[in-house]
Amino acid sequence: MASTKYTLASRVKVLSMPEQCLADGHTMPQIQLGLFEMSRAEASASVEAGLAEGYRGFDCAQMYDNEREAGQALQEGLARHGLTRADVFYTSKLAENSTSYDTVRASIRESVAACGLGYIDLFLLHSPLGGPAARWTSWRAVEDAIAAGEVRSGGVSNYGPQHVEELLQHSGLRVAPVVNQIESHPFNTRTDIRDACARHGIVVEAYAPLTRGMRIQHPAVTRLAQKYECTPAQVLVRWSLQHGMVPLPKSTKRARMAENADVNGFELSAEDMAALDAMDEHLVTDWDPTDAE
């Protein structure tokens, strides 16, 4: 097993993290730090540690109740690390779809104000829950937030193929979603959703890429970790990247953050990727609203 000590060479790999192009012309970091289920203090400390370790993308949400702390830590970190606002990519998400356009617009503005960053790089509808009318009304509000400069890019989360098609086929669509954030890892591959997104040029972000620890010590994963002289977490992050996804590994530990992003020095073979794909058991680690009506 490879050492978890981080050399200058490995640190350079983290700092030179590649970017993912979005269909609207914007780019975002190919690996980002998830802030799910972090207390406000943990989110603040994790953002600072993440910046120090080379992370430039941070995934937040209204549901996480830590937007203000994450944004404040980013503002302070920019000055501390000699960065500008354009150097970081901040995501937030709408907690609840609504048939009230004004309610959603106000909610988006509240998220922009809470983070204190001037604008949100990517704003997502957190789920398809609420029904077709609420989904469409909420998306109209995202479109208008983009037009107003409050948000740069818009996307969705936990959308099944049917929800993606519903939105894209709507006659009133002005701005297409550029991201769909879903749970995806070798034990829940969601090829159906990934294929639907690929057909329309929608980037898939993978939350819970490390299975929230539930399968990180699975023999299939640890065997590959030994083969490639890396950690099990690095195997899972590589799997996401090689499938063209943007993984959002979560950690409050600085060493783990560095480890999770230090994956540019190896590549899983086609045979090993196929072996991991075959582990799919539709493992849901938190929630799965992808079949919502």
Residues 130-154 have pLDDT tens digits of 999 999 999 999 999 999 999 999 9
* Total of domains in the chain: 1
pTM of the model: 0.94
8 exposure class (CB count in 10 Å sphere: 0-12, 13-18, 19+): exposed
Report the pLDDT averaged over residues 45-53: 97
Flag whether 269 is in a domain. Answer: no
Q: What is the pLDDT of residue 18?
A: 87
C-alpha distance across the termini of the chain, in Å: 46
Answer for the pair 94, 126: CB distance below 8 angstroms, yes or no: yes
Which residue out of 6, 55, 64, 101 is catalytically annotated? 64
- Whether residue 44 lies inside any domain: the answer is yes
Residues 6+ apart with CB under 8 A from 260: 31, 210, 233, 234, 237, 249, 251
- Residue 46 belongs to domain with CATH number: 3.20.20.100
**Average pLDDT of the residues of the chain:** 95
Active-site residue, 64 included: yes
pLDDT tens digits, 189-237: 999 999 999 999 999 999 999 999 999 999 999 999 999 999 999 999 9
Is the model's pLDDT at 100 over the cut of 70? yes
pLDDT surpasses 90 at 6? no
Element (H, E) at 241: helix 232-242
Whether 151 is in a domain gets the answer: yes
Q: In this predicted structure, what is the pLDDT of residue 2?
A: 38
The mean per-residue pLDDT over the stretch 268-290 comes to: 98
Question: Cα separation of 244 and 273, whole Å?
Answer: 13
Q: What is the DSSP letter of 37?
A: T
Q: Which residues contact 160 (CB under 8 A, 6 or more apart)?
A: 128, 192, 193, 290, 291, 292
**Percent of the residues in the chain that have a pLDDT greater than 90, as a whole number:** 94
**Residue 227 covered by a domain:** no
Which secondary-structure segment (H or E) carries 10? helix 8-15
Domain membership of residue 40 (yes or no) is yes
Is residue 16 very low, low, confident or very high in pLDDT (cuts 50, 70, 90)?
A: low
Residue 26 labeled ligand binder: no
In a domain, 291, yes or no: no
In a domain, 10, yes or no: no
Provide the domain limits for residue 82. 18-214+244-253
Residue 17: per-residue pLDDT: 73
Residue 271: inside a domain? no
